[in-house]
Structure 1
């Protein structure tokens, strides 16, 4: 598939069949994630791969508030035969930038304008989402409720210094309803691109 087609076809898929996913394809999805950029080549990420019915059940039990049950939002997602949980590790970045070639020995977090550990892990997640499309599959990235993170860690033995930035379901697409959010439509280039100066946008429209 051409790269432009992969980008154009990428969308969040919330409904899956029960057809299994080839483990070799999952290997490829994770391998591509390793090519994401990372500050200082810190690579402070980890990916929890869940691909058995038992593991998937434990995930949903841990990530869902008690008594919530299966709702219209999660029903289709729960059929996905694979869940990957990307996790970021701030410590890896603080350690890397305290190294002699970086020299931030004070490990002061205020040096970081944004949390690159989360951003880099998010870019790795995006590479997974794009690979999924290229493989003819569907995927959805969604958040793990903050109050459920301790239960998630306990369920899978995740160390305290690794934080899930979300979760990705992967599977074969089934027909589903379009998300109400899509009714908003995509913003166009003229709405988001400021050429050379923030106030240049109106001039850009007039020039066209």
Structure 2
């Protein structure tokens, strides 16, 4: 598939069939994630791969708030046979930038204009989303409720050093049901690109 086609076909897929995903394909998806950029080549990320029915169910049990069962939003997601949870390690970045070639030995977080540990892990996740499309699959990135993160950590033995930035379902697409959010439409380039000055249109015309 041409790269432009991959980008244009990428969607957050919330409805899957129960057809299994070839483990070799999941390997490739994760391998591509490792080629994401990272500040100082810190690579402060980790990925929890869940690809058995038992692990998938344990994830949903841990990530779902009490009293909230299967609803119309999560019903299709729950059929996905693979979930990858990308996690970031702030400590890995603070430690890397305290090394001799960087020299930020105070490990002061105020030196960072943005949480690059989360940004870099997000870019790795985007590579997974794009690879899934290239493999003819669907994928969806969504958040884990903050109050459920302790249960997630306990269920899967995740060290405190790593924080999940969300979760990604991967599987074979079922017919789309349509997301209410899509009714907003996609903003055009002229709405978001500012050429040389905020109030200058992006077009040369």
The TM tier, using the shorter chain, reads over 0.9
Normalised by the length of structure 1, the TM-score is 0.97
* Partner of residue 176, structure 1: 176
Alpha-carbon offset, residue 199 of structure 1: 1.4
In the TM superposition, what whole-angstrom CA distance separates every residue of 1:3-50 from its partner, at most 9, and x where no partner exists?
Answer: 000000000000000000000000000000000000000000000000
Correspondence list, 1:54-203, <5 A: 54-201=54-201
In the TM superposition, what whole-angstrom CA distance separates every residue of 1:94-118 from its partner, at most 9, and x where no partner exists?
Answer: 0000000100000000000000000
Alpha-carbon offset, residue 176 of structure 1: 2.3
Q: Which runs of 4+ in 1 moved over 4 A?
A: none
Q: Partner of 1:56: helix, strand, or coil?
A: helix
Aligned CA RMSD, in angstroms, stands at 0.8
Structure 2: runs of 5+ lacking an equivalent: none
Q: Partner of 2:75: helix, strand, or coil?
A: coil
Whole-angstrom CA distance in 2 between matches of 1:20 and 1:160: 32
Correspondence list, 1:46-61, <5 A: 46-61=46-61
In the TM superposition, what whole-angstrom CA distance separates every residue of 1:165-203 from its partner, at most 9, and x where no partner exists?
Answer: 0000000000121111111111111000100011112xx
Whole-angstrom CA distance in 1 between matches of 2:186 and 2:134: 22
Aligned length: 205
Alpha-carbon offset, residue 67 of structure 1: 1.6
Whole-angstrom CA distance in 1 between matches of 2:81 and 2:30: 15
Structure 1: runs of 5+ lacking an equivalent: none
Whole-angstrom CA distance in 2 between matches of 1:179 and 1:90: 33
* Partner of residue 43, structure 1: 43
